[in-house]
Structure 1
Amino acid sequence: MKSANIFGHSETLMDLQARMRDFVDREAIPREHPDLVHDVEKLDQIAHLLREKAKAAGLYAPQLPTTYGGLGLSWRDRAVILEEAGRSFLGPLAINCAPPDQPNMINLIQHGTNDQKKRYLESSIRGDIRSCFAMTEPAPGAGSDPSMLKTRARRKQGGWVIDGRKWFISGAVGAAFAIVLAQTDEGATMFIVDAENPGYHVLRNIPSIDGYQIGGHGEIDFVNCEVNDDAVLGEIGKGFTYAQVRLEPARISHCMRFIGRASRAMSIARDYVNTRYSFGSRLSELQQVQAMVADSHIDLHACRLMTWHAAAKMDAGESIKHESAMTKVFVSEAVCRVADRAAQIMGALGMSEDTPVSLILRELRPFRIYDGASELHRATLARRILKGGLRA
């Protein structure tokens, strides 16, 4: 980070970065274990332990304003810190800066009433409870096309009744509440629904390619799920607007974390090829291996620059609708390339679980789908470019 001032990072960032790297190396990475990969209950226990340690270390909640107990970092500083935390599967959980709680907390800060903040936000910030964001639905419901939203909320005296099915809801298992997107006569609306509501049913944790997902990926059924008027988050009919405002910074935050994960995979591969001999020479002396290492560092450098540019625009209060889509497409594909190369040059070891590389690869692959598939973003970008005549 010797070039911190060039990119407008704060003077204190280098010290914070060093402390975060030390915390991840000393507290988070040593606690990674195969038993945690798909065990939601054990993962919750480790997250609670690490959060207390992160609070004691002064590293907790870098994304939140200081008035809410966070570090109040700019987006540019946050990019560096989330990359450091993202080197470990447990790092973002430790500092309570992992999805879906991270964007949910932002939703509550921006649109929640005082009562909603007191009931849901404060406990979420402390890490006492978790939440989920329920938008995606089975066919023919909403997926990449949110306008296909089928879950409905109809009015009743003093409140609403929600009916519908949601799936692939990250964090759903064990969540204390969900922010639910449902269609109303006035338009899509966000509701806060307690998990203990009799009409709220977590049907299963859907097995998935990735691991270390706190709360898994749940399927939720809403059956005559009654909520009061005070369950509405923000204004009625503005659910799609809130979802879009939420998703743009969420995508960029994903990029920040996953750059760290891909960087770790390549670091492990680098150490391997520097010590592994084959056909009379070290693997690092083979030009094909050298090319893969170089290409990976080029990809990671480009990822950082695109992410930092989007972060700078957010700090300036500018729209990143265009940049977030471009960055998400490029970074999601580039970090997957990096992890794939790392696994490839490590041979059979890269396919095994003796190192984290294979799990990093499995975790990064879905990013090309999560928060909007690459194909969807490309189509949206192209329509915007062709219609508006934006410079190439």
Structure 2
Amino acid sequence: MEYHDSETAKAVAGRVESFMDEVVIPREREALATGEQIPMHEIEDLWEEAKERDLFAPQVPEEYGGQGLDFSDMLPSFEQVGRSLIGAHAIRANAPQEGNMHTLEMVGTEEQKEEYLRPLVQGEMTSAFAMTEPKQGGGSDPKMLQSTAVKDGDEWVINAHKWWTSDGLDADFYLLMARTDLDAHPYEGTSIILVPRDADGVEVVRNVPHLGGHGITERTGGHAEMKFDNVRVPVENTIGEENAGFRIAQMRLGGGRLTHCMRYSGMAERSLDIAKAYLAEREAFGSTLEEKQALRHRIADAETRLHAARTMVRHAARELDRSDARIEVAMAKMFTANVTQDTIDLALQCCGGNGIGKDLPIAHFYEAVRAFRIVDGADEVHRRSIARWAFEDVDETEIENTLQFDEDLRIDDLDD
């Protein structure tokens, strides 16, 4: 399909596709065949080759070691990396690192960028985004945020209980959302604060067990339950303006949802490719499976819906360049999450026993994709926003500030 991406976008995506096909996917196949985990030093070797091919950190400005692509131009590359279980890691575009890099680059101070962004881009540090809380805390309803940060002189004193903190096990620092003006509405009184891992009172309680949590790389990072008990950090660790945490997080989430859509589209595309190859070779009841009309029609439907999803994501990206595109992003995210789940499910079914076996990546994709209908905003929350818009009973302030806190469970970061 021709999506009229820019020449830059097509050129970079073509190089990413070659990198995936020539280097990354073959290494992934070896790991799946042997059951081994890919050690971190091999991921770092992939980073070096990505740098040589001008593919490393496409979303980061060149001054910090990335490729400096515009948002729309990098989307096709994110689809290509989604085709591999380790693709995003191989070019340093995996979440939550990618989103945290964007946040620091967008609103961080020059000092924060030098101390944290630059080493984060180069893989010398790892970060996490601590937003979601256990019940009855902040989840799909962000107004329920319980975490607090109170000023004591020139320090924040933070008390928080978080979970689904992606890469929380390995993180060198956390971007933590907490209420910083308890007299204000949470939308107007919440900040994002950088908390170093070695600060007194930071505790990793556990790695939360979850669907699809068996990775093929050594460093999984986990999805940690965290406690922050009277943690003190300088007020200068505030990311962006004080009390502007929801606005900053919304800026982070809009683009992040679309990059996730493209990565999962890549998963679905590769799953379909595997299924079609299998159907062409597998014979049953007197002919190859690809000749069975029922399967042909189901594949045709999947191709059509996946094309529609890709088109929606690109449209939302264009709108995001001009406005906050809340509804366009919500529609694209919800639709793509369901389409990719259905497509991968179909591919697994087509491959039968080979589909549920883990010699192929489809079973891993199947485990990963189910969570996409919850993370980055559950289907129901996006439907709520779309329905309010559709029925024209829109409270602009409410929709503008609505965040789906489940965002920070980044399934493509499960190394699955």
Q: Call closer, same or farther: CA 1:145–1:36 in 2, change over 3 Å.
A: farther
Confirm or deny that 1:262 pairs with 2:264.
no
Shift of 1:154: 1.3
Decide which moves more: 211-220 or 112-121.
211-220
| Counterpart in the other structure of 1:208 | 210
Give me the TM-score of the superposition, normalised by structure 1.
0.93
Aligned to 1:223: 229
The two structures have a TM-score, normalised by structure 2, of: 0.87
Q: Is the aligned partner of 1:234 residue 2:240? A: yes
Taking the TM superposition and a 5 Å limit, the aligned residue runs for 1:69-108 are 69-108=65-104
Unaligned 5+ runs, structure 1 = none
> CA offsets, 1:220-276, max 9 Å, x none?
111111111111111111111111111111000100111001100110011000000
Q: How is 1:327-366 mapped onto 2 (pairs within 5 angstroms)? A: 327-366=332-371
SS at match of 2:136: coil
In 1, Cα distance between equivalents of 2:292 and 2:116? 55
Is structure 2 residue 286 aligned with structure 1 residue 280? yes
Query: In the alignment, what sits opposite 2:379?
Result: 374
How much has 1:127 moved relative to structure 2? 1.6
SS in 1 for 2:100: helix
Change (3 A) 1:72 1:369: same
- What's 2:131 paired with? 135
**Quick one: distance in 2 between partners of 1:222 and 1:44?**
28
Alpha-carbon distance in structure 1 between the residues aligned to 2:257 and 2:39: 23
Provide the C-alpha distance between the structure 2 equivalents of 1:56 and 1:341, rounded to a whole number of angstroms. Answer: 37
1:197 to 199, 216, 220: 199
Displacement over 6 Å in runs of 4+:
35-39
Shift in Å, 1:210: 2.4
Give the structure 1 partner of residue 317 of structure 2: 311
State whether residues 169 and 204 of structure 2, in contact with CA within 8 Å, keep that contact through their aligned partners in structure 1. Answer: yes
Instruction: Give the whole-Å Cα distance in 2 for the aligned partners of 1:214 and 1:381.
Output: 35
Shift of 1:354: 1.8
Q: 1:273 to 1:355 in 2, by over 3 A?
A: same
1:194 positional shift: 0.6
Residues 251 and 37 (structure 1), Cα distance of their counterparts in 2 relative to 1, 3 Å cut: farther
Q: Distance in 2 between matches of 1:117 and 1:110?
A: 10
Q: CA deviation at 1:35?
A: 9.9
The question of whether the paired residues in 1 share the 8 Å contact of 2:192 and 2:239 is answered with yes
Paired residues for 1:113-132 under 5 Å: 113-132=109-128
**1:329, distance to aligned residue in structure 2 (A):** 0.2
Contact 2:271 2:344 in 1 (8 A): yes
Structure 2 segments unaligned to the other structure (5+ residues): 395-416
SS at match of 2:135: coil
Match of 2:174 among 178, 203, 206: 178
Q: Percent identity?
A: 38
Looking at structure 2, the residues matched to 138 and 37 of structure 1 have their Cα atoms a distance apart, in angstroms, of 34
SS of the residue corresponding to residue 219 of structure 1 reads strand
> Could you say if the C-alpha distance between residues 43 and 153 of structure 1 is closer, same or farther in structure 2, counting changes exceeding 3 Å?
farther
Aligned twin of 2:63: 67
Partner secondary structure for residue 391 of structure 2: helix
Q: Which has the higher contact order (CA 8 A, sep 6+)?
A: 2
User: CA separation in 1, counterparts of 2:320 and 2:136?
Assistant: 35
- Deviation, 1:47, is 2.9
